[in-house]
């Protein structure tokens, strides 16, 4: 399989590519052209043109979870590609909020996308297999030392009534790679160690590669982390114990966490950036 990063928080200088706070990946797998997420604007589509990616050729699209920085670019994808279904969790269109900058602010999918294109979203519960070698796996392992460390993310129940987000709207895109399963989870809100364990249990195969953000970044903490400084190392060691050999990460992981992860993972940690391509 070949993976191309269409949009991410960073971009190489003089590349002609536009970064943004978001993530979008184009994956060529067997006979399928897969789009995982679409960032928060038209930037992913503009970058796709620069990179020679034809979004009209996408035949399988996946929305990892119901946050705007992964979903709002779908507004442009659904116009560009008139036939492809977008696989999502049924709860992806929920009322999700963040308090990272103070009072709760809406961070869910904007209504014109979710409610305006009901025929374009393919939603279902449980483990799903859209095509051979391709799975969508919801998060099934919760709690424990590797549970989500994000306390600012909420789900709205009613006027001024919020509860912690349980991330039931998040799932992993899992592909059969040459040496094991590749888990794509764009933000890993539920904790990447728990996510990998859940995929292994659901599919009965080893996970050798993880691709996506690890949600260790804090906008307000002086450390730049939403977790204790020893946590990234603990995560890295636990992933290696589960058999993970490569971690491609960026977006919501954060620079501070990247430094700490690299201390444990070395060259097995590969930063994501706009235009990066790699084969697995």
Give me the CATH topology for the region 2-279. Metallo-beta-lactamase; Chain A (3.60.15)
Mean confidence (pLDDT) of the chain: 96
For 244, half-sphere exposure in the C-beta direction (CA atoms, 13 angstrom radius) is 28
Bridge partners for 107 per DSSP: none
Residue 189 to residue 180: CA distance in whole angstroms:
23
Report phi then psi at 4, rounded to 5. Answer: -125, 130
pLDDT band at 148 (very low <50, low <70, confident <90, very high): confident
Token representation of residue 229: 């400084």
- Residue 116 exposed, middle or buried by CB count within 10 Å (0-12, 13-18, 19+): exposed
pLDDT band at 149 (very low <50, low <70, confident <90, very high): confident
Say if residues 249 and 258 touch (Cβ distance below 8 Å): yes
- For range 85-110, the mean pLDDT: 95
Please work out, in degrees rounded to the nearest 5, the angle formed at the alpha carbon of residue 65 by the alpha carbons of 136 and 23: 100
Residue ranges of domains in the chain: 2-279
What per-residue string of b and e applies to 44-65 under the rule 16 or more CB within 10 Å gives b? bbbbbeebebebeebbbbbbbb
Which tens digits make up the pLDDT trace of 36-76?
999 999 999 999 999 999 999 999 999 999 999 999 999 99
Bridge partners for 157 per DSSP: none
Which tens digits make up the pLDDT trace of 252-262?
999 999 999 99
pLDDT band at 178 (very low <50, low <70, confident <90, very high): confident
Say if residues 270 and 279 touch (Cβ distance below 8 Å): no
pLDDT band at 95 (very low <50, low <70, confident <90, very high): very high
- Give the number of other CB atoms < 10 A from CB of residue 19: 18
Which tens digits make up the pLDDT trace of 201-243?
999 999 999 999 999 999 889 999 999 999 999 999 999 999 9
């Amino acid at each position: 399989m070949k993976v191309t990063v269409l949009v991410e928080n960073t971009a190489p200088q003089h590349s002609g590519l536009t970064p943004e706070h978001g993530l979008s990946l184009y994956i060529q797998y067997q006979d399928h052209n897969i789009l995982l997420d679409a960032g928060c604007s038209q930037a992913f589509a503009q970058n796709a043109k620069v990179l020679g990616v034809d979004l009209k050729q996408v035949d399988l699209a996946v929305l990892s979870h119901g946050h705007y920085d992964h979903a709002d670019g779908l507004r442009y994808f659904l116009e560009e590609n008139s036939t492809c279904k977008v696989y999502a969790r049924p709860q992806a269109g929920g009322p999700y909020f963040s308090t990272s900058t103070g009072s709760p602010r809406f961070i869910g999918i904007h209504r014109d996308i979710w409610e305006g294109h009901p025929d374009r979203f393919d939603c279902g519960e449980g483990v799903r297999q859209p095509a051979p070698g391709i799975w969508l796996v919801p998060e099934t392992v919760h709690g424990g030392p590797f549970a989500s460390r994000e306390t600012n993310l909420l789900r709205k129940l009613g006027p001024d009534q919020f509860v912690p987000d349980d991330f039931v709207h998040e799932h992993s895109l899992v592909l059969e790679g040459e040496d094991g399963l590749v888990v794509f989870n764009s933000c890993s809100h539920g904790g990447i160690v728990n996510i990998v364990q859940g995929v292994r249990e659901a599919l009965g195969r080893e996970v050798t590669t993880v691709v996506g953000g690890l949600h260790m970044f804090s906008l307000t903490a002086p450390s730049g982390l939403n977790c204790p400084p020893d946590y990234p190392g603990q995560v890295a060691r636990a992933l290696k114990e589960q058999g993970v050999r490569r971690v491609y990460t960026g977006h919501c992981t954060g620079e501070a966490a990247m430094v700490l992860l690299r201390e444990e993972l070395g060259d097995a940690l590969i930063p994501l950036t706009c235009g990066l391509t790699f084969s697995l």
